[in-house]
Amino acid sequence: MKIKVGDKIKFLNDVGGGTVAKIIDNKNILVLNEYNFEVPVAMSEVIISQEESSYTQVSKTVEQEDLIPAEPIEKEDVFYPEPDIVDDNNDVNVYFAFVPKEANNIVNSDFDTFLINDSNYHVMYNYITNKDGHYFGTDAGVLEANTKLSLVSFKREELNDLPEFVFQFIFYKKGSCEVHSPIQQSVTVKPTKFYKENSFKENDFFEENSLIFNLLEKSAIQNDLDQLTQKDFKNIIREKELGSKRPRISTKRENKAAAAAIDEVDLHINTLIDNSKGMSNSEMLEFQMDEFRKKLDEAITNKTNKVVFIHGVGNGVLKTKLRYELSTKYKKLKFQDASFKEYGYGATMVFIK
Q: Where are the domains of the chain?
A: 8-66, 94-216, 222-351
- Record the pTM: 0.42
Reported as a pLDDT band with limits 50, 70 and 90, residue 116 is very high
* pLDDT tens for each residue of 20-43: 888 888 888 888 887 777 888 888
* pLDDT tens for each residue of 124-155: 999 999 998 899 999 999 999 999 999 999 99
CATH among 3.40.50.10330, 2.60.40.740, 3.30.70.20, 3.30.1370.110 for 222-351: 3.30.1370.110
Q: What is the mean pLDDT of residues 280-292?
A: 88
pLDDT of residue 185: 92
CATH among 3.30.70, 1.20.58, 1.10.3720, 2.30.30 for 8-66: 2.30.30
Q: Residue 255's closest CA among 322, 305, 184?
A: 305
Q: Residue 314's closest CA among 208, 220, 236, 207?
A: 220
pLDDT of residue 122: 93
Tell whether the torsion through CA atoms of 226, 276, 214 and 80 is positive or negative.
Answer: negative
Q: Is the confidence at residue 83, as pLDDT, over 60?
A: no
Q: Residue 317's closest CA among 282, 341, 343, 275?
A: 282
pLDDT of residue 206: 92
pLDDT of residue 342: 78
Of the candidate ranges 2-11, 44-53, 219-228, 344-353, the one whose mean pLDDT is the lowest: 219-228
* DSSP codes of every residue in 195-222: G-GGGSB--SS-SS-BEEEETTSGGGGH
* pLDDT tens for each residue of 314-333: 667 888 899 999 999 988 89
Q: Is the confidence at residue 70, as pLDDT, over 80?
A: no
If one looks up domain 94-216 in CATH, what number appears? 2.60.40.1600
Q: Residue 344's closest CA among 238, 231, 189?
A: 189
Q: Which helix (H) or strand (E) holds 147?
A: strand 147-154
pLDDT of residue 55: 45
pLDDT of residue 90: 67
* pLDDT tens for each residue of 144-201: 999 999 999 999 989 888 999 999 999 998 888 888 889 999 999 988 888 888 889 9
Tell whether the torsion through CA atoms of 297, 298, 300 and 304 is positive or negative.
Answer: negative
Q: What is the mean pLDDT of residues 246-253?
A: 44
